[in-house]
Amino acid sequence: MQSQPTISILIPAYNEESFLPQTLHSVHASFAAISRSDYEIVVCDNNSTDATSQIALAGNAHVVFEPHNGFSHSRNAAARAARGEWFIFLDADTLLSPQLLRVTLDHLATGKVGGGGAAVNLDTNRPGWFGAMFCWSWNRLSSLRKLAPGPYTFCLRRVWQETGGFPEDVYYTEDIIFSKRLQRWCRAHNMRVTIITEASALTSSRKLEWFTTGQLIRQLLTICIPGSIKRRDHLHIWYRRPAAASKNQTTNKAKSLASSKSSA
C-alpha cells in the first residue's frame, strides 16, 4: 500500500471478528493479483465488543471508531477518514475478487462513471428458495434501476462529499437512498452509474442460518410500515444477532486473530 492511495476500501464493522480476516485477505489478494498497490483499507469499528479493531490493525487497515450503531454512520465515518479519490464500500462479510476489482477500477478510470455497484451472490451452494429468490430479485432490480447494493458500492470521493454521503436518519435502505443521490449527481455532471454484472461480490449467507424464512419475510414486511426504517429497534435481523451466533463468534476469536496475522 502506498503512502498516498488512489483507492480507499471502506469497511463498516460491528462485531465482525469471525468474518473480517477473510475479507481483509480478499482485498490484499485482489490488489496483488492486478498488480496495484495504491490503496488503503479503512475499517470503521462501529462500537464493537469483540476483537474487530485488533483484527483490522493486524490486517494492515486503518481503524476509526464510530459509537453510534448504524450502517450509514459507520460508512460515513470510514469515508471521512479516507485519503483516496476512489471509494469502494465493502461490507465486512463480503469478499472482493480480482475480477470485480479490475472492472470497478476500469470504470472509474474512464472519467465517465461517477459510481455504482455490482451483482451480489451468496457464499453457499444451497441458499434455499428464499435466499435464491431474494438474490435473483435484487440483482435484477439493481441492474435495471441502477441501485448499488450495500455489500458493494463504489463512487468518486467527490460524489460522496457533494451528495452528503449515506443518510444517517435511516437504519435500512440507506444504500437505495444513496444510489438515488448518486444518480442525481451523475445526471447533473453528465456521468453514468454502472452496475457490474460480469463479476459479482460474494457475501455471507449468515442471515439464512441465523433466522427462519418466516422471520426474514416478516422483517421485510416490517420495513413497509411508514417510519420503520428510522427505528433501529424495528430492524432486528440487521442489528441483533442470535445468542448462538454471538457464542460462536466468541469461540472463534483466537482463530480469527491468528488468521488475520497470517494474512497480513
Residue 1 forms part of a structural domain: no
Residue with cell 475479507: 23
Residue 236 forms part of a structural domain: yes
Residue 2 forms part of a structural domain: no
The percent of residues above 90 in pLDDT, for the chain, comes to 70
Number of domains in the chain: 1
Residue 252 forms part of a structural domain: yes
CB count in 10 Å sphere of residue 20: 28
Q: Which amino acid is at 173?
A: T
CATH number, position 125: 3.90.550.10
Query: Which tens digits make up the pLDDT trace of 6-57?
Result: 999 999 999 999 999 999 999 999 999 999 999 999 999 999 999 999 999 9
Range of the domain at 11: 7-263
Give the mean pLDDT of 199-224. Answer: 86
The model's pTM: 0.87
Residue 139 forms part of a structural domain: yes
- Please determine, for residue 258, whether its predicted confidence score (pLDDT) is greater than 80: no
Please tell me the distance from the alpha carbon of residue 130 to that of residue 136, in angstroms, as a whole number: 10
pLDDT score at 209: 86
pLDDT score at 1: 61
Residue 33 forms part of a structural domain: yes
Residue 51 forms part of a structural domain: yes
Radius of gyration (C-alpha) of the chain in whole angstroms: 17
pLDDT score at 203: 96
Residue 158 forms part of a structural domain: yes
Alpha-carbon dihedral sign for residues 217, 219, 223, 225: positive
